[in-house]
A and B are shown apart, each in its own frame.
Chain A
């Protein structure tokens, strides 16, 4: 402690800016980790809170995926032994077009029995609802809203709200205002209660329920009732405690969580290099200090401990600042994340509070400290090995000995050999990820050598551009490979991340565009909801008959999609008239025979899988696939695999007839319309609006609208990637600033001498600017090389562990070109302050330095 106070603290105070910059990498990495995860956890916590508050005294919930189930299931569940009360539920998030907060969660229940499970305490309208549920259920326009929602929208008893029901806009009447309680705080207070049978009509559910909430008899073990119900209902149904819904949501958003981890880990990894660089330089700068300590009797262990303690404290301070910063940004991220997850997965959720998990925060602190310790380990060991006699002599500290370089190169090539070996076993996860890790290590070990080659290669060009300043800048880089390689490594890693993510984004866009071109070729789409991911409303099958009457319509395709559980995970099903799909939007088979695949699926002889489903669940052509339906397990062979990007968790395509037969559901989500030649979309739109508006709730998307919508969702998803790219570039810029600040301090004497022998201020400035640009150029070139490998691994990772997407490897040349001005501009900007620092200081002090 004494040494830290006497030596380390004094050093940090003297080099405040550098200490802050060194810390910045940790701050950023931890902040991104805490921010993104806290936002994710907040949305998750809000979802779970909503689930729990809505669940009330519910002990078990019966569901059958998103397809829902027939009413008769309710009677079976109610009659099951051990069940005290079982009530039907329909849940939907709808936009009410009200002034303050548009989205509201409609919880539709059977009030007769539901009060055994949930507590509806009313503060107004007691006569009309609690005391007289007859009026509430007799009038299907009845709604109970929360006090919070009523206040926000200035609603009172008997106020009217217009809701787009399936049979057109319908006016609802507020017949009760609930007092604030656990239930009413669900979904941020935007909650309304409706009669479940009225909701069937409003949301086009036919005679189906989404869910049954139940409580068991007193003294009856919940697990026993759960098992009994599971057995009675069969595998098409899930009987779970309410908490399981949180797990489903978590499973849905797991790709986001993985992205958040990847971003923060990368930020920390790059931050590690900044710390490594700073400590390596600090060790060389403080050689004389170390020498004196060693001469005074300090042991090697004490010196190493001193540097490690410094790094631990730095890591702790950086992590603490990162935690605070992360919590600050979490609110902003969570606000948009709820909507974003709603758009992508169709599960809307609002996070009004930030849920900071102490474990996560402690983990983040530990992560910061450990990262800092790992980064400082090699420099600290180097400090401990300093010879006291040599340390007290002045000399060149930044040189890497030829021996050291050779060892690095040999190790790197040995590692690359292992990587090549690992590439032969990429099916094995350890071999795959191990190979990636070793490639990064090998690349980093080669950075000093490659950076030196490139710096030497750049020297003539820099000399041509600016004979004096260019030469000085190039020499500075060549003579200080340790310092240069630290900054270049950080920059190259950042660039490789940009290339990998950018390349993947590009490949994804290309793939999605191609898929959209083929799969989204109808002229018009009619949906029951405002977006295609929300499935709160459904059309009755009679809607299609009305649409078929539209003049000039060539083909009408009916689509029913939704989620169901496969192997415990949520996957998408798409039930469509496959024969029409084959004629109109033929997607070639990735696995299987394109010419027979559709025919077999249309005949109900099999399923067609999306490529990502096949990858994620390792189910391929010819394999039997079993889906649990309300009528029992349905096993059909996989007759083909196609590239389909409908859902990140995988999609099963089946013929509509198969779905209707096994799920007892003929409702529709989307109607795809192909028009005859010469018939305009606008004319059909006008006809549909004239004939159906006011009778049926529907939304019209033209081909262009829908493509724009999918592109918007894709953009939102890759918005996360852009955050990653931004963090990567920011950390890289921090690295350059740090290196240059260190470099200026390190070379104060040299720069002082330059000025003393007549160098002008602008020449010194330009030297430093050129040095920064040279670091940028070297970093870019090495980064592009790293990027080639990183892109390969990222695409592979995406295919095998995240979304199961098999993407084409396409190097993002455009992005690489765009990076030149960005990084070189950032490098130049990063050099401005250090350059000023170099020319503004006292010449005498500079000459006395060291």
Chain B
């Protein structure tokens, strides 16, 4: 094979990888979403804790806005996180603390830290638009018992990320991601499994997310309940003013 043919093949594969990810995002797109999440944190020392939140989201993938408000236990009730995703840069995030009656911005530098003691980082809550990363097809593999494409995404310079690269497995049958592996240098630091994948209102959804922090050896399970798509959600709910009002 001539070197031009090889380059064309590589380009085609790259194109494929991007198209697959784009297709995946397109297929599972919804204008709005709402659910109640149960967050279980399993610490390496065997202790675990549980919290519940309400999650609302509006807008297209990559440029959506999301609001997450804790409803239990009582000591964190009312604490909220507003995420405003941008297609061209990292998201903006604000936290609301009802006891202090004030909001605080989650700085970009802090996105790599753990989200409220879970095994997710703040960055993991963001939506990653395809334009912010380069993609590479690594091949095909079986993951979570399903035939998948194995694709590597590398953040573009416009986007600050704690991860050097992310490898994802996307089910070939339904274009739905089932696993992510996040790398810092050459080491996998987090692994996210999508489980209980079901169709809700015609949209494929994972009702359980299982995030492992391989450095800390901890695990967080997010169970989704009362999931609804395309519900009437007002854009005004996703503003700092609304966050402050506790809406």
Chain A residues with CB under 8 Å of chain B are: 74-75, 78-79, 83-86, 110, 112-113, 115-116, 126-127, 130-135, 137-140, 197-198, 201
Contact = CB atoms under 8 A, between A and B. Distances in A.
Contacts of B75: 135, 138-139
Interface stretch (B7-15, B106-114, B230-238): B106-114
A78 B108 contact: yes
Contacts of B109: 78, 83-86, 113, 116
A149 to B, nearest CB: 24
Interface stretch (B27-35, B58-66, B96-104, B193-201): B96-104
B76 interface: yes
B97 A197 contact: yes
Contact of B76 (A74, A75, A135): A135
12 contacts: A79-B108, A85-B109, A86-B107, A112-B110, A113-B113, A115-B113, A116-B113, A133-B116, A134-B116, A138-B79, A138-B98, A140-B99
A114 B107 CA distance: 12
B117 interface: yes
Interface stretch (B41-49, B137-145, B180-188): B41-49
B107 A197 contact: no
Given A127-B47, A135-B75, 7 more contacts: A112-B106, A130-B117, A134-B117, A139-B99, A197-B97, A197-B100, A197-B104
Given A79-B108, A84-B109, A127-B47, A138 B117 contact: no
Number of chain B interface residues as a range: 20 to 34
Contacts of A138: 75-76, 79, 97-99
Contacts of A131: 41, 43, 47, 49, 117
B109 to A, nearest CB: 5
A131 B97 CA distance: 18
B100 A201 contact: yes
B107 A75 contact: yes
A222 to B, nearest CB: 17
Contacts of A135: 75-76
A367 B109 CA distance: 54
A158 to B, nearest CB: 12
A111 to B, nearest CB: 9
Contacts of B106: 112
Interface of B: 41, 43, 45, 47, 49, 51, 70, 75-76, 79, 95, 97-100, 102, 104-110, 113, 116-117
Nearest to B106: A112
B75 to A, nearest CB: 5
B99 A127 contact: no
A201 B110 CA distance: 23
B125 to A, nearest CB: 14
A84 B111 CA distance: 12
B105 A75 contact: yes
Contacts of A79: 108
Contacts of A126: 45, 47
A163 to B, nearest CB: 16
Contacts of A113: 107, 109-110, 113
A130 B45 CA distance: 13
Tell which of A75, A112, A115 has the most Cβ of chain B within 10 Å. A112
A85 B102 CA distance: 23
A131 B119 CA distance: 10
Query: Which 10 A-B residue pairs are closest in the complex by CB-CB distance?
Result: A134-B116, A132-B117, A113-B110, A112-B110, A138-B76, A138-B79, A78-B107, A85-B109, A131-B117, A140-B100
A78 B108 CA distance: 8
A652 B97 CA distance: 39
Contacts of B45: 126
Contacts of A132: 41, 49, 116-117
Contacts of B97: 137-138, 140, 197
B41 A112 contact: no
B119 to A, nearest CB: 11
A140 B105 CA distance: 17
A113 B95 CA distance: 14
A126 B41 CA distance: 13
Contacts of B43: 127, 131
A470 B99 CA distance: 87
B99 A197 contact: no
A80 to B, nearest CB: 11
A130 B107 CA distance: 19
Contacts of B116: 132-134
A131 B79 CA distance: 17
B82 to A, nearest CB: 15
A78 B107 CA distance: 7
B49 A127 contact: yes
A134 B79 contact: yes
Given A86-B109, A127-B47, A133-B116, A198 B79 contact: no
B115 to A, nearest CB: 9
Tell which of A116, A131, A132, A140 has the most Cβ of chain B within 10 Å. A131
Nearest to A78: B107
A344 B44 CA distance: 50
A421 B59 CA distance: 88
Contacts of A127: 43, 47, 49
A606 to B, nearest CB: 38
Contacts of B95: 137
Tell which of B43, B45, B102, B116 has the most Cβ of chain A within 10 Å. B116
Tell which of B41, B95, B113 has the most Cβ of chain A within 10 Å. B113
A598 B94 CA distance: 47
B69 to A, nearest CB: 12
A126 B117 CA distance: 11
Contacts of B117: 130-134
A114 to B, nearest CB: 9
A140 B108 CA distance: 23
Nearest to A201: B100
Contacts of A198: 100
Given A135-B76, A140-B100, A112 B49 contact: no
A92 to B, nearest CB: 17
A505 B143 CA distance: 85
Contacts of B107: 74-75, 78, 86, 112-113
Contacts of A140: 97, 99-100
Contact of A134 (B76, B104, B113): B76
A624 B197 CA distance: 73
Tell which of A74, A86, A113, A198 has the most Cβ of chain B within 10 Å. A113
A549 to B, nearest CB: 25
Contacts of B100: 140, 197-198, 201
A835 to B, nearest CB: 78
A78 B106 CA distance: 11
A694 B198 CA distance: 56
